[in-house]
Chains A and B, each alone.
Chain A
Amino acid sequence: EVQLLESGGGLVQPGGSLRLSCAPSGFDFNSYAMSWVRQAPGKGLEWVSTISASGYSTYYADSLKGRLTISRDKSKSTLYLQINSLRVEDTAVYFCAKHRSAVYDAFDVWGQGTMVTVSS
């Protein structure tokens, strides 16, 4: 079964940093582009970042650019999202998602999400 399992969320103070992880199973992780999507409490879905299958191409939402780093470790088969200078408005559930294939494609598998709460 194809699955994604996020981890790394938690409570962090404003200005802090967090690294989220996403562990895939059931498919060849190295063959697919991956993304992060977030959802603030009671709000809609917001795309955050995408990385190509090779890892050479990365893309970020303009509203978050400069504070994010998306990466993937082929040896560990893990996707990461580093978020710096966290703000209260970054409070959300962060989902990782697998693309059907390439960067310009829909998300066919989603993880269950990890909650990030930014508060003093």
Chain B
Amino acid sequence: DIQMTQSPSTLSASIGDRVTITCRASQNISTWLAWYQQKAGKAPKFLIYKASSLESAVPSRFSGSGSGTEFTLTITSLQPDDFATYYCQQYSTYSRTFGQGTKLEI
């Protein structure tokens, strides 16, 4: 299975900050990568697909980049609603795997 490793595991930031979360794949996954946001007790919310394509209705302060084995999720000008846990997921193989998550806290 392809392993996905996110860093950092926890990220402390303030309202208005710009933050970046990194996701590394154990082998080349081209751009078959998605990002999700999850708040405590809720279902994940879809943010980005194909590494950099923003899902409709997702605010433009979210952006994704990368290809191959290294990817980033960037959030500019953090808003109170953005404090949550973020997961990357590869879907280059049927056995899709998630990163362990990055908790973004105030």
* Chains A and B form a bound pair: yes
* Interface pair B1/A44, CB less than 8 Å apart: no
* Interface pair A110/B45, CB less than 8 Å apart: yes
Nearest CB of chain A from residue B93's CB, rounded to whole Å: 8
Determine whether B100 belongs to the interface, using a CB cutoff of 8 Å to chain A: yes
List B contacts of A46 (CB < 8 A): 98
Q: Which residues of A contact B (CB under 8 A)?
A: 37, 44-47, 50, 59, 61-62, 95, 100, 103-113
Q: Which 4 A-B pairs have the closest CB atoms?
A: A106-B34, A110-B43, A106-B49, A59-B94
Q: Which residues of B contact A (CB under 8 A)?
A: 1, 32, 34, 36, 38, 42-46, 49-50, 55, 87, 89, 91-92, 94-101
Identify the interface centre among A50, A110, A112: most chain B CB within 10 Å of its CB: A110
Given contact pairs A45-B98, A100-B49, A105 touches B43 in the complex (Cβ within 8 A): no
Secondary structure of the B side of the interface? loop
* Interface pair A105/B95, CB less than 8 Å apart: no
How far is A49 from B67 in the complex, measured between Cα atoms in Å? Answer: 25
How far is A103 from B94 in the complex, measured between Cα atoms in Å? Answer: 7
How far is A44 from B99 in the complex, measured between Cα atoms in Å? Answer: 8
How far is A44 from B45 in the complex, measured between Cα atoms in Å? Answer: 14
List B contacts of A44 (CB < 8 A): 87, 98-101
